[in-house]
Structure 1
Amino acid sequence: MLKNSNALYAAFKAKDARFDGRFFVGISSTGIYCRPVCRARQPKAENCTFFSTAAEAEQAGYRPCLLCRPELAPGSSVTDATANLVHRAARMLEENCGSGQSLEEIAGRLGCTARHLRRVFTAEYNVQPVQYLQTCRLLLAKSLLTDTGLSVLDVALAAGFGSLRRFTDVFKRHYHLSPTALRKRMSEEKGTDGDITLALGYRPPYPWENMLKFLAGRAIAGVDMIKNNTYMRTAHFITTGGKHSYGWVRVGHKARKNVLTVTVSESLLPVLPQVLARVRRLFDLQCDPDAVYEILQSMNTIRPGLCVLGTRIPGCFDAFEMAVRAVLGQQITVKAASTLAARLVGAHGAPVHTEIEGLTHVFPTPEDLLALEGPLELHLGPLGVTAARAKTIHELARSLAEGEISFDLCAQPEETIKKLMTIRGIGSWTAQYIAMRALAWPDAFLETDAGVKKALPPCTSKERMKLAEAWRPWRSYATVNLWNSR
């Protein structure tokens, strides 16, 4: 439980969105726990207990509020996820709650033993990893029951429960309500067309238009696009059992509720937690904008308005796709790089049926490119890709396929940057850019970038690096602010 209850109660009373997801409030008079932004009748301070996670509140015997819906709260910030083993483990548990991976497997990916992970996780969150995982599954199931028309069995399987009976037993034990009873009590309309729409929360303000503008400029024809103020793309996942899941994702914005709406095709239901995790990463939903602005507001002494509260890092949905596009974009325009990427997809991407006009292919995997006969430059050359770029893409694909380089939550950004730079054709700019977007690293800085140089007063690269020291650990956000200021 969290200390300093007076300050936390004040934030709860003010319904301060800055604290959403930072703590949860257990209310003894009702037996429920809420987000600090909950609009229900304010409880007395003596009836409130404060918890750092939803899992901790549930282990204390509280059940989630049906009004504020704790499953919609944003998670921990990206700086925690890169710097702290426990926070990275928590994000992995959220992302893999439906995959059936054991704690031993997750600990192995993080480079530690399951025993060590249990010890440090419990010390940080006051719950064991298995309890945290169970809460992730329950909250995902609760969201699916509330917002979709999926059958209870489909909900159970999508949330990672092995059987309907086990799901029902656990749900009743924790929430004192059966899954079907919860569905009857909720009034929201549910989808009936086979698509699945859920909501993901963020801490406001959120620059939706800026994010769409950035992504639109880098969209790959056939793979992703912006239409009607909505982001849409194809998706391809390989499950732990080796099965392939193809489908599409559509992301919209509900500013009044501080959420993004995520609609996925029913074909992606078996990998729903991974889909949601990638959307969070793409749109930087874990960001704590006030913490970032507290450090970066000094940028406004260089030029008023240079740093804007709420700026996010545009991440990526498919790390290999983004990395290849970064290589293709070296020394050419953004538009030209999109053209080359579209040719690559048309020639070597797998066709997928989406029922959305313009979405026709998924980007090729590293294995797809490595399986082509002969040198890769023979296949990419006719598309307009230089031999040097083709060799770089081949080496990048090989490094990822053989596990020499990883873009998942286990990766250490500084070490990954060093490994990337050992690939001929990948320099500091490309490696930093990939780390920023694929690894969600908050402290990358592209001192040689043309946009960065243009936004700052005339100075050398060393002087720009020295200037950026004051912006640690948020130099990636500083970079995006500089891009946006042009």
Structure 2
Amino acid sequence: MTLDHDASYQVFKARDARFDGRLFVGVTSTGIYCRPVCRVKTPRKENCRFFSTPAQAEAEAFRPCMKCRPEMAPGPGLAWTVMDASRTLARQAAQWLDSRLGADDDESDAPSMAALASHLGVSDRHLRRIFAAEHGVTPLQYLQTRRLLLAKQLLTDTRLPVSQVALASGFRSLRRFNAAFADSYRISPSRLRQDADDATPLPADQAVCVNLGHRPPYDTAAMLRFLSLRAIPDVEQVEDPCVRRSLRAGALAPSGGWLQVEFVPETETRGPHVRLQFAPSLAPHSARVVAGVRRWLDLDASPDTIDHALAGLPGGPGLRLPGCVDGFEMVVRAVLGQQVTVAAARTLARRFADRFGEAVATPWPEVTRTFPSPETIAAAPVEHIAELGIIRARAGAIQALAQAWPEASRHLHDKHEPAALIEMLEQLPGIGPWTAHYIAMRALGWPDAFPPNDVAVLNAMKPLFGITTRREAETHAERWSPWRSYAVLRLWNSLA
């Protein structure tokens, strides 16, 4: 993608946060590349080169800035609706490569491009061509940059041993990691670690802590309110400005543990961000945890674009779409929430976790259990689920979901195909269109969901637009596409 040099320089001079993660500037006099929000002295225009991604900058031998830290920049956001099919495929390919950052299987450092091409239904040659046209680099250059930036963040923010950082970043060989890092950044991993504030090795019981950037504004109050109303006691705790919760094994990573997110406001030296802490047991899977939390809190959204599209709806700027960190937990909670209040669904979820979840050690006395695993629920007698006060039909639906989870989870990983997930879910007993669309909205992070016949949405639209029927609501909502999920949230919030 070609960037206009004059316009890009104006963005950089203004330190426009709306372009954070979408624009990077390489300074030829220093060999460093920065985010547009970098607070260093603005370089001369003729010394600047502009890039759409860090991979493009690093392919031209620029090194990441140690002050603005490009590894903290928000992602470009999901390409759910673009007109050009080739651009869509190229962005879906990048998402697949992102999912390979912390792969912990026995594959080599470079995953098969043939496997990626097969996943997308195109030839290897076509994939390389459209990827280079969209991203300006090859797929392997893109993946290498993402892994190196993750390693840089872990070396800077945490005290994980260098060998563990290499593995967590997707490198199977410490020798290869050291060579790639030194070749790209002209500094060894151990030297960067020595330059960090605290180079003491990580104690066995010490949390891993990383900082995650996002584009302002971010309606933190709305996100915390949404999560607080639905927090399952003993599994989650919301205490402004923090959210704490447990993680069962298999949710974000093969091992279980806990995590905390804290919303940190802007300071003189750093923009607003989220401070993520998680259990040492999850350290080998840092890439998965970071990616999962980014989706959960919708940190890669573009609020200016979304807010402009929803200008006629009530609500303040920066509303985000709450996702989840456990897809199975989300689908179970969606079923428990059918035709009951949010408070009632929360009560049922607590009973469900108390009966079938497992005890877990965390730093907080309020978080003591994990949500049940699909394997546990698939093997449980349906009577044991129903006796918690759950209608038997819904108990059967939950068990059917657990038994079908291997297939359903594959659809959740294929994040560019919401229709396939919805179709699969609607074939299960007790899963109607509303529940399937709500699951796609929350568990898949689909920004254009509009759960059909949502009573609260109709109640909100009646005084605003004089709408009283489902058909009228769906027709009116077309103007909000592809951000109808955010419109639904605004409508729900208007009734609070």
TM over 0.5: yes
Write out aligned runs for 1:29-44 (5 A).
Answer: 29-44=29-44
Alignment pair present for 1:284 and 2:292? no
Q: CA deviation at 1:357?
A: 1.2
Question: Normalized against structure 1, the TM-score is what?
Answer: 0.92
Q: CA deviation at 1:239?
A: 10
Once residues 340 and 436 of structure 1 are traced to their aligned partners in structure 2, the CA distance between those partners, rounded to angstroms, is 21
Mind listing any 5+ residue stretches in structure 2 that lack a counterpart?
A: none
CA contact (8 A) 2:248 2:372 kept: no
Local SS of the residue matching 2:255: strand
Once residues 118 and 353 of structure 1 are traced to their aligned partners in structure 2, the CA distance between those partners, rounded to angstroms, is 46
Task: Provide the alpha-carbon RMSD of the alignment.
Answer: 2.3
One-letter code of the match for 1:39? R
Local SS of the residue matching 1:253: strand
Q: CA deviation at 1:400?
A: 2.4
Once residues 336 and 312 of structure 1 are traced to their aligned partners in structure 2, the CA distance between those partners, rounded to angstroms, is 24
Match of 1:252 among 253, 262, 268: 262
Q: CA deviation at 1:475?
A: 0.6
Once residues 311 and 89 of structure 1 are traced to their aligned partners in structure 2, the CA distance between those partners, rounded to angstroms, is 28
Equivalent residue for 1:302? Answer: none
One-letter code of the match for 1:293? D
Equivalent residue for 1:200? Answer: 212
CA, structure 1 residues 114+99, in 2 after alignment: closer, same or farther (shift >3 Å)?
farther
Alignment pair present for 1:340 and 2:348? yes
Alignment pair present for 1:354 and 2:362? yes
Q: CA deviation at 1:87?
A: 2.1
Once residues 356 and 106 of structure 1 are traced to their aligned partners in structure 2, the CA distance between those partners, rounded to angstroms, is 42
CA contact (8 A) 2:352 2:388 kept: yes
Match of 1:226 among 210, 215, 238: 238
Could you report, residue by residue, the CA deviation over 1:54-82 in whole angstroms, capped at 9, with x for unpaired residues? Answer: 01110111000001000000002234489
Could you report, residue by residue, the CA deviation over 1:300-334 in whole angstroms, capped at 9, with x for unpaired residues? Answer: xxxxxx14321111111111101110101111111
Equivalent residue for 2:401? Answer: 396
Could you report, residue by residue, the CA deviation over 1:318-368 in whole angstroms, capped at 9, with x for unpaired residues? Answer: 111011101011111111111211222222223322232122222223222
Match of 1:273 among 275, 287, 292: 287
Equivalent residue for 2:174? Answer: 164
Local SS of the residue matching 2:355: helix
CA, structure 1 residues 452+99, in 2 after alignment: closer, same or farther (shift >3 Å)?
same
Q: CA deviation at 1:213?
A: 0.9
CA contact (8 A) 2:248 2:373 kept: no
Alignment pair present for 1:93 and 2:105? no
Local SS of the residue matching 1:298: coil
CA contact (8 A) 1:253 1:260 kept: yes
| Range 63-72 or range 270-279, more displaced | 270-279
Could you report, residue by residue, the CA deviation over 1:163-206 in whole angstroms, capped at 9, with x for unpaired residues? Answer: 32221111110000111222233447987662111011111000
Equivalent residue for 1:47? Answer: 47
Equivalent residue for 2:23? Answer: 23
Match of 1:125 among 130, 135, 138: 135
CA, structure 1 residues 77+118, in 2 after alignment: closer, same or farther (shift >3 Å)?
same
CA, structure 1 residues 361+120, in 2 after alignment: closer, same or farther (shift >3 Å)?
farther
Equivalent residue for 2:193? Answer: 183
Question: Normalized against structure 2, the TM-score is what?
Answer: 0.90
Equivalent residue for 2:378? Answer: 370
Alignment pair present for 1:153 and 2:163? yes
CA contact (8 A) 2:294 2:300 kept: yes
Count the aligned residue pairs: 475
Could you report, residue by residue, the CA deviation over 1:376-396 in whole angstroms, capped at 9, with x for unpaired residues? Answer: 422201211121001111222
CA contact (8 A) 1:110 1:410 kept: no
